[in-house]
A and B are shown apart, each in its own frame.
Chain A
Amino acid sequence: MNTTHPEAAAPLRCPMQGEEIPMVVDYRVLRQVSKDWKQFSSDVPFRVPIPSEEEDRSVRQLPIERDPPLHSEYRKLVDAWFKRPRSAEFQQELSRLIGEQLTPRINGEAFAAIHDLALPIQSLALTKLLGVPESESERWISWGTHVFHSNTGEHHGQALEDYLNEQFDRAEQEGGEDFFALLSGCEFQGRRLSREELLGFGNLAFAGGRDTVINSICGLLGHVAEHPEDLERLRAEPTLRAGALEELFRWISPVTQIGRVCPHGATLQGLEVPPMGRVSLNWARANRDPKVFPDPNHLDIARMPNPHVAFGSGPHSCIGATHARALLRCLLDILCEQKLRVEILEASREHAPSPYHNANIYRKLKIRLRSSGI
């Protein structure tokens, strides 16, 4: 593949775990690399995320840590399930549960938006996505905002794995209508999925949709607090809402970067990657490529064109995007229709220890919710 374009931004070189990893930041190059799975493979357990996660889990995540054509077969098993958030019934449930979290806070005390609002909304919405009782969310919430590591350094990977084993045991014995029963009942290449494969799917359903959704919720709240005029405009012009959320996803880019491994080595924009060497795809930086997004650091709710890659690109593009989009849309609709105002009392964003980090993620966000006019 020719990844050399005269005006392409050069990859960054990131020292990581004893390796120097080239990080793709150019939009065009990133789109090419992300579909070239033969050279830039995902078929490497624990090594798609950078830093690698062999310390955090014991199973290969599915479908993400496989390449086509096997990847496509795995993905087909759950494709229709992950599209359920498109239905009106599903969206009504999302609106109800988001409303139940917001309503008691309106005109009340200030609160920690990450822990007391975004985390419960994310967890309750996930019960809908997985088709399990809402009460399950209590246990997930007790794991904190990160599935694998909390800010105290305590590890939660084992808690998740124990939980998933319980769920698959139950599903195998009792059947049911939820995500766990769907997976344990389905046929794959003429056989049932192994426990390891089941855990691989389960693990990613929790890991992929947690921080990402929490950061998106907080990003939306933070933005409308700082730019009430944008919320006002979206209230008056509902047709702008879908595009505004796409712009929010671009601007936040909740998944900063993710890795690929080059089984046979590769040449990337003139850099040699050794066999089994890693490459990082930085979605967040590509989303700020000025050649594609003029004035890239500005969040323009009416930006057009906006071919962002916040949900990835190529065969692995996010299967949870339907859910994430539906959830954020319900939240935005409620903020608009109930004429809510968000006030920030205290906020800090992630301070970048390196140029690779995403600066748009709140570490702390204390807010108050008001109904307009008060």
Chain B
Amino acid sequence: MASVTFITPEQKRITINHAVGSLMEIATHHDVEGIEGACGGVCSCATCHVKIPAAWQEKVGTASDGEKAHFDFMDNAAENSRLCCQIEMSEALDGLEVEVAGEEG
């Protein structure tokens, strides 16, 4: 089964093995700080903002329009930003690392 590591703004690493579901669901079930998933995974909030390291960008893919609608208005968003409710964990992503963006400003 696939594992994923969340790296918090304080550089704490939280690894979850046997991860299933969206990254937002996985993070909130494990109380990863900085990932809230307030709207339940439909891109109406931006409380599950992560950044994807270069090595993983191709496999993870780029942001959808629903995600970009937020990034345009956020100071801490970058090219590699994603809302992790839109990233479904899979075997192909085994070993994935993502950086939790944390609060703006």
Contact = CB atoms under 8 A, between A and B. Distances in A.
B38 A306 contact: no
Contacts of A307: 43-44, 46, 66, 69-70, 73
A115 interface: no
Interface in A284-329: 292, 304-308, 311, 321-322, 325, 329
A305 B73 contact: no
B104 interface: yes
B17 to A, nearest CB: 23
Contacts of B105: 35
B73 A31 contact: yes
B38 A305 contact: no
Contact of A242 (B42, B69, B104): B42
Given A35-B104, A292-B69, A306 B42 contact: yes
A304 B104 contact: no
A339 interface: no
Contacts of B65: 304-305
Contacts of A83: 36
Contact of B43 (A32, A304, A311, A329): A304
Interface in A315-366: 321-322, 325, 329
B24 to A, nearest CB: 12
Tell me if A's interface is mostly helix, strand, loop or mixed: helix
Contact of B28 (A86, A308, A329): A86
Query: Chain A interface: which size bin?
Result: 20 to 34
A246 interface: yes
Given A31-B73, A35-B104, A292-B69, A308 B44 contact: yes
Contact of A305 (B28, B36, B40, B43): B43
Nearest to A313: B73
A242 B40 contact: yes
Nearest to B40: A242
20 contacts: A31-B73, A35-B75, A242-B40, A243-B42, A243-B44, A246-B39, A249-B44, A304-B42, A304-B43, A304-B65, A305-B43, A305-B66, A305-B67, A305-B68, A306-B42, A306-B43, A307-B44, A307-B73, A308-B44, A311-B45
